[in-house]
Amino acid sequence: MIRQQFVPMNRWLEPLFAAGIMVLNLYSLWHLYTYSYLPQPYFYVPEDTWMDWFNTAYWAHQPGAYDSWKTIYPPLSFVVLKPLTWGACYVAAEGYASRQCDWYGAATLHLVFLANLVLIAKAFAKIDRSTQWPRTVALGLGLPMTFALERGNLVLLCFTCLLLAFGPLVRSARLRWLFAGLAINFKVYLIGAVFAQLLHRRWRWFEGAVLATVLVYLVTYAIVGDGLPSTLVNNIRDFSTQWEASTPLDLWYTVTYQPALSLIESKSFPLVPLIGSYTAELLLVALPVAVYTVQATIAAAAVLTFFNHRLVSRRRAVLLSIAFALVISEAGGYTQILLLLFVFWEKWKGLGPKVALLCAYVLCLPFDIAMTPLPENATVGALATREVITRYDVGYMQLLRPGIILLMCWALALSTIFDVVRGVARNRAEHSAEAGDLKIA
């Protein structure tokens, strides 16, 4: 009798998702070539392409980043960008003019993107060669990463440091501490990734990473001469109180439902008549409850991990720490790459990781489904340098993506809890069996 051989589901499903991502990327490039702007769900101001990179670069070459620009970036961002951009383009030029001048800066931005793609492929090869290429395509060329490239956001550099700090490519513990310190100085909310080491009693790793974080900050502060912690806190507070969604287009690139809630409460756009007052009132209650439920589940998983750390992987603990921060604070859709890095390191084993991986692949698909068309708008395309007519819609995916992120994080937190509970029960059963054998002997 010949046994029937079953192909694991992920062996064909993951390559299928990767192929879908590549097809949608080709469509995006065709749309850019034909209409001179990237399609939904990329940023809805075509003229603003790469400007996170070039705006920051201007203040790297000019004083006043913290008092004039009110930046929330620690000094490291300006120290790193200074040699990666051409200073002569920022003496008299600013904004779009600097971008048109600084082709060296555009080249270094894309080199960082390509370097990340290579590092992703190498890291996945060390973890699981059977899933290396579909996951490399999803993470390295999917929507969150290409959106970060379109924005030119420094999260690309932060991602590099995060991968080297917690991935399988660097062996030296001291170098890992340094990369962790650099990552935190790019995106402060990653401090939780270092505290996650305490769940596994890695006291020395924690101390080394914290020391590296402080040293990186002190050195870069000395170079820039500005960026005190009190200044950063004040700028972050001002930024958080001033920003709110004013159009459904602001929901395209979010990782939380905070912009959606602000849009429901705001009178600047008639969203309530569009979705109905009952639905609006329901969302105002249900969405915060969903977020706090996920955070509570993550917190419970962290507590169980602390007391049973041998049953939970270190990367899962770091993943949960990043998830805890991202589900409550809106940092932009491109920050998903910091979370998806660890999700794609999960094995296709168990219900929770499978659900999380499926969510991750869906999040990497650069597409949306039109719900309601929005008025056409005339603007200037950054890559076309001419006027273009943009056509966008209120889409279903822009409303679903934050929910998919919540589901992904919740699935892994629940999986952690179940793994610990099952592991503890199994250990108790084994100890009971051993005790029984001793009594019989």
- Per the CB < 8 A criterion, the answer to whether 80 and 183 are in contact is no
For residue 109, the one-letter residue type is L
Task: Report the C-alpha gap between 59 and 397 in whole angstroms.
Answer: 35
Residues 6+ positions from 421 with CB-CB distance below 8 Å: 304
Q: Taking the model in full, what pTM does it have?
A: 0.93
Cα-to-chain-centroid distance, residue 41 = 16
Q: Strand, helix or coil at 383?
A: coil
For residue 287, the one-letter residue type is L
Considering only CA atoms, which of 226, 196, 141 is closest in space to residue 317? 196
Give pLDDT tens digits along the chain (441 positions): 444 455 578 889 999 999 999 999 999 999 998 988 999 999 988 889 999 999 999 999 999 999 989 999 999 999 999 999 999 999 876 778 888 899 999 999 999 999 999 999 999 999 999 999 999 999 999 999 999 999 999 999 999 999 999 999 999 999 999 999 999 999 999 999 999 999 999 999 999 999 999 999 999 999 999 999 999 888 887 776 655 666 677 776 788 888 877 777 765 555 666 666 767 788 888 999 999 999 999 999 999 999 999 999 999 999 999 999 999 888 888 999 999 999 999 999 999 999 999 999 999 999 998 888 888 888 887 776 678 889 998 888 988 999 999 999 999 999 999 999 999 988 887 766 655 555 565
Cα-to-chain-centroid distance, residue 278 = 32
Indicate if the alpha-carbon torsion angle 125, 127, 128, 133 is positive or negative: negative
- Per the CB < 8 A criterion, the answer to whether 143 and 335 are in contact is no
Q: How many CB atoms lie within 10 A of CB 155?
A: 24
Cα-to-chain-centroid distance, residue 84 = 23
Residue 12 buriedness (CB in 10 A; 0-12 / 13-18 / 19+): exposed
Q: What is the DSSP string of 276-316?
A: -HHHHHHHHHHHHHHHHHHHHHHHHHHHHHHHSGGGS-HHH
For residue 165, the one-letter residue type is A
Task: Report the C-alpha gap between 221 and 43 in whole angstroms.
Answer: 32
- The whole-number pLDDT of residue 375 equals 85
Furthest-apart CA pair in the chain: how many Å?
A: 88
Start-to-end Cα distance in the chain: 44
- The whole-number pLDDT of residue 4 equals 47
Omega prior to 83 cis, within 30 of 0: no
Do strands 386-390 and 393-395 pair parallel, antiparallel, or not at all (unpaired)?
Answer: unpaired
Half-sphere exposure of 203 (CA within 13 A, CB side): 0
Considering only CA atoms, which of 16, 39, 15 is closest in space to residue 27? 39
Q: Strand, helix or coil at 102?
A: coil
Q: Could you give the C-alpha distances from 322 to 55, 156, 190, 429, in angstroms and in order?
A: 27, 16, 6, 34
Task: Report the C-alpha gap between 215 and 382 in whole angstroms.
Answer: 39
